[in-house]
Amino acid sequence: MSSRRPDPLAQVSDFEIRLLKLFRSVVECGGFSAAESALGIGRSAISQQMSDLEQRLGLRLCQRGRAGFALTEEGREVYQSTLQLLAALESFRTEVNGLHQHLRGELNIGLTDNLVTIPHMRITNALARLKVQGPDVRIHIRMTPPSEVEQGVLDGRLHIGVVPQVGALSGLEYQALYDERSLLYCAVGHPLFYVDDQQLEDQRLNVQEAIAPTFRVPPEVQNHYQALNCTASASDREGMAFLILTGRYIGYLPDHYAQAWVQQGRLRALKAGSRYYDINLAAVTRKGRRAHLVLESFLDALAEA
């Protein structure tokens, strides 16, 4: 295959769009094998369709083989153009659907981890109402770090996200959803598990090995971690739970997320009256976004939930 197509691409048909959607899935899954379950087809079929796309574009999009899957420079550019094209197609479809006032299309949501255990269940209830209003609406949820959720909303890959509100980014709108409290926990096997809070001095607490988050937190929350002896880190709350449950670390977890382990007698909060912090979780959308009937209906459902 030549590295560059000798003639410009004449048109983008439904067939090319289908191949581009497959290409997007392969990239987001991280390779052919990982994309099999997401696409519902075998690796050989994926490979053949990728070859068809490369042939039609006249570009080598990725390297595959024993060394693993990797995008070429052209592949990265085509991937970004693919996201823009598919987002524009979805925007067109939702705008036309809006003319008929009938809910169809997609809702792409980005969530930070471990929100499903929040008792209020505003997101779950709003999704249920949306499906009652529009049975044909296709809902896609991506669990990603908060910074990636916000970036996805900014560049149009996500219609809405739910993140801890650390600081408002220009270009985004934030709607408060939850107030979440995090407590300091240890697990069975930790030296402090059976120590009464009244006998637990701050100095003894602060020298225990603890876990620090690598995701953004507000400055007032950072103070809680700076007081601890953080010798480990985690990129999300689930990672923190894994380490706390070893019985070797203490760390902060949302109380709703930790509740099941507390009830099982596997976790306990340490000095819950003073060692806690609260954080606001907000729905985030893009400012100046185009009319999107599915998104607006979901926002209405969130406000009512």
Q: What is the pLDDT of residues 250-280, one digit of tens each?
A: 999 999 999 999 999 999 999 999 999 999 8
Query: Residue 106: is its pLDDT beyond 50?
Result: yes
Integer angstrom CA distances of residue 27 from 21, 107, 163 = 10, 20, 24
- 0.95 exceeded by pTM: no
Domain with CATH 1.10.10.10 in the chain: 14-86
Domain with CATH 3.40.190.290 in the chain: 102-305
What CATH code would you report for 102-305? 3.40.190.290
- 229 Cβ partners below 8 Å, 6+ apart? 206, 207, 208, 209, 210
Largest CA distance in the chain: 78
Distance CA 100, CA 28 (A): 33
Predicted local confidence at residue 100, as pLDDT: 56
Query: Residue 5: is its pLDDT beyond 60?
Result: no
Mean pLDDT computed over 46-66? 88
Q: Name the CATH topology of 14-86.
A: Arc Repressor Mutant, subunit A (1.10.10)
Q: Per-residue confidence at 130, pLDDT binned at 50, 70, 90?
A: very high
Interval 142-171: pLDDT, tens:
988 888 899 999 999 999 999 888 878 889
The 10 Å Cβ neighbour count of residue 86 is 17
